[in-house]
Amino acid sequence: MSAKPVDLPADSSIQRILIIKWSALGDLVMASALFEDIRRAFPRAEIHLNTQPANQALFAADTRFARIIALDTRPKSARFGAMLRWLRSIRAGRYDLVVDLQTSDRSRLLLGALQLTGKGIRHRVGNHGFWPYTIGPDDLPLDINPVLRMRAALKLAGIPTTTSHPVLAVPEHNRERVQHLLAQHGIADGNYALLFPGCHPRGYLKRWGEQNYAELGRLLLAEGLVRHIVIAGGPDEAELGNTIAGSIGAAAVNLCGATEMLDIIPLAGHARCIIGNDTGTSHLAACSERPQVVICGPTDPTRVKPLGDRVIAIQADLPCSNCYRKHCAHHSCMREVHPAQVLALLTAPPAQAIVRVPARILEALPDA
């Protein structure tokens, strides 16, 4: 293992590179900035990406990768067989360099097992400074943003980390569908706000709430910042979108269930501004580099804020914030962020990327 800087891009023998990044969606999208840095550092190398099958569609048009290795190593019913398939596939790749952006117990175990077969990979970059990695930083805090951890590792390997936002390739049919949807509803480029009010059902505590989104939509219209409010999300969020759109009025358009994942990037790219919860969709929107506010409560914005210079996270300053609970009796972290505060971040963006607003709660919070 080396915690001292080396210059891997200067090594002309590195011809085949494997990048490992499995999940989750938000982390994967943030890691796409690092994919871009690796591609730029090794412009002539053949690069393969190992990800989960569910993520494969995100890279359908991505020319940075010669191959997407979509293998699931997690099935409980056949985990040993899945790991053997992974080992066979990676051994056959004959890679000169692996960059493990997952750096989980499982990826470390698999890379360690690969080394023990005698057919391992010469250069192994990870965000820990111990075996099975040959390059990795020592003593990094565990609670920092995962991209910052991996940037530290890439810098040790001599790979410049200059990409400031996620980078994903959008197929032309996705761009055309977005243009059709906007034209269908009479929405002009740059004249709408894009809302992401949903999230995965298991993470319902991350939802800011339909009333807050509806009030924010009305404020944006009243201030003249936009002429339309567009609500986007999955098919399971269609009812939520209808409720918000109905409360806002005729200027609101509910597109929940009408878009694919990669539609989100051009949809965000044509928006005046974006507001959403801590969800994978907000990370996809960050590829657009449009002004965005993400409302955080039970999750730590230093770890989950989408990557980008124009993304601001807002969170109520409460002792119970960042609890990562699945259930809560009071949900104060979201109730204490108000639409007027979010509007202020859009009209006069602050210098800091994370804004913690004072909470009005003075009494002791009930036990969550």
pLDDT of 362 strictly over 50? no
Q: What is the pLDDT of residues 152-185, one digit of tens each?
A: 999 999 999 999 999 999 999 999 999 999 999 9
Q: What is the pLDDT of residues 188-222, one digit of tens each?
A: 999 999 999 999 888 899 999 999 999 999 999 99
Residue with the larger pLDDT of the pair 76 and 356? 356
Ramachandran region, residue 324 (left: φ > 0; alpha: ψ -120 to 50; beta: rest): left
- In the chain, where the domains are located: 8-156, 172-357
Alpha-carbon gap, residue 61 to 65, rounded angstroms: 9
CB 283, CB 267: distance < 8 Å:
no
Mean pLDDT lowest among 253-257, 324-328, 344-348: 324-328
Q: pLDDT band at 72, cuts 50/70/90?
A: confident
Alpha-carbon gap, residue 141 to 157, rounded angstroms: 19
As a whole number, mean pLDDT of residues 236-256 equals 97
Which pLDDT belongs to residue 368? 57
| Helix, strand, coil content of the chain in percent (nearest 5) | 40, 15, 45
Structure tokens at 186: 């009479």
Which pLDDT belongs to residue 254? 98
Superfamily of domain covering 8-156: Glycogen Phosphorylase B; (3.40.50.2000)
To the question of domain 172-357 being in CATH 3.40.50.2000, the answer is yes
Which pLDDT belongs to residue 73? 80
- Percent of all residues in the chain with a pLDDT value above 90, rounded to a whole number: 85
As a whole number, mean pLDDT of residues 35-49 equals 98
Q: pLDDT band at 361, cuts 50/70/90?
A: low
pLDDT of 24 strictly over 60? yes
As a whole number, mean pLDDT of residues 329-355 equals 96
Tell me the pTM.
0.94
Average pLDDT, the chain: 93
